[in-house]
């Protein structure tokens, strides 16, 4: 294996660097995204139940401990909601400024959602660059290998020496294969990671809308205590 690597010439070194960087980014992103797949129903249920009971200190304590992107978006909405109402808005009480307040809550949640999406996509641009340049580096190795073969032919004044010619041909083929070996798995993994991100974004939107719906319809007082099973309002559809 090492001898094959060396036969690929100097272009193999940047290809090796690309493969190591791509592997590191892929593993880090997969761990990050898998860690954020916890179901936020329990978090939302505890938060909204405390709000519905007027237990703002308990609700604030819950909002200060978000673990996933979805929970951070909901916690941001709760913080803005609390600041706008000063904790004086019980779920069952009418408020003439409801839509204005909920509009600000929604804007804050959308802003936080964009931050979370940017964090999910962190370093993916580097991965895109690696996917693009790896085949090009392989092509560069192909060109240098062919040039080396022609230089051998010129040096031998047209005489054929298969052994010497094979050095340049081997470099050309090995670098082409290496470039594709780096780019193809990286492309597949990037596609999979983007799919995870899309699912996380969809989950953020769905649970953010659920939180706003609960605020708008004053459903918080109908939520059970967090120790009870999920209600229909927090069940996955």
pLDDT of 3-49, one tens digit each?
A: 777 777 888 899 999 999 999 999 999 998 887 777 888 888 888 88
**Could you tell me which residues come within 8 angstroms of residue 93 by beta carbon, excluding any fewer than 6 positions away?**
none
Residue at 95 is within a domain: yes
237, part of any domain:
no
For the chain, percent of residues with pLDDT exceeding 90: 39
Considering the domain boundaries, does residue 231 fall inside one?
Answer: no
- Average pLDDT estimate for 89-106: 74
* 113 lies in some domain: yes
Helix axes 162-217, 124-155, angle to 10 degrees: 170
Within a domain: 236: no
What ranges in 93-123 are assigned the alpha helix state H?
A: 98-120
Is residue 235 a part of any domain in this protein? no
Q: Say what the pLDDT of residue 187 is.
A: 96
Residue 191 lies in a domain: yes
Split into its structural domains, the chain has a count of 1
Does 229 map to a domain? no
Which residue would you say has higher pLDDT here, 166 or 47?
47
Average pLDDT, rounded, for the chain: 81
For 180, the domain range is 2-224
Length of the chain: 237
């Amino acid at each position: 294996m090492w001898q094959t690597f060396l036969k690929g010439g100097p272009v193999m070194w940047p290809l090796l660097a690309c493969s190591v960087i791509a592997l590191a980014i892929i593993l880090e992103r997969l761990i990050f995204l898998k860690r954020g797949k916890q179901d936020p129903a329990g978090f939302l249920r505890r938060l909204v139940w405390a709000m519905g009971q007027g237990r703002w200190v308990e609700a604030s304590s819950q909002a200060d401990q978000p673990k996933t992107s979805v929970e951070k978006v909901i916690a941001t909405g709760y913080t803005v909601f609390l600041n706008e109402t000063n904790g004086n808005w019980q779920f069952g009480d009418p408020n003439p400024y409801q839509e204005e307040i909920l509009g600000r809550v929604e804007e804050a949640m959308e802003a936080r959602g964009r931050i979370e999406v940017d964090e999910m996509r962190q370093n993916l641009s580097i991965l895109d660059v690696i996917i693009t340049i790896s085949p090009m580096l392989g092509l560069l190795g192909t060109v240098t290998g062919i040039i080396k073969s022609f230089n051998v032919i010129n040096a031998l004044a047209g005489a054929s020496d298969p052994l010497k010619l094979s050095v340049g041909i081997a470099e050309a083929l090995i670098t082409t294969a290496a470039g594709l070996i780096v780019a193809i798995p990286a492309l597949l993994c990037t596609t999979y990671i983007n799919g995870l991100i899309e699912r996380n974004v969809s989950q953020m939107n769905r649970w953010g809308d659920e939180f706003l719906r609960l605020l708008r319809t004053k459903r918080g007082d109908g939520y059970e205590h967090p120790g009870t099973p999920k209600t229909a309002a927090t069940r996955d559809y």
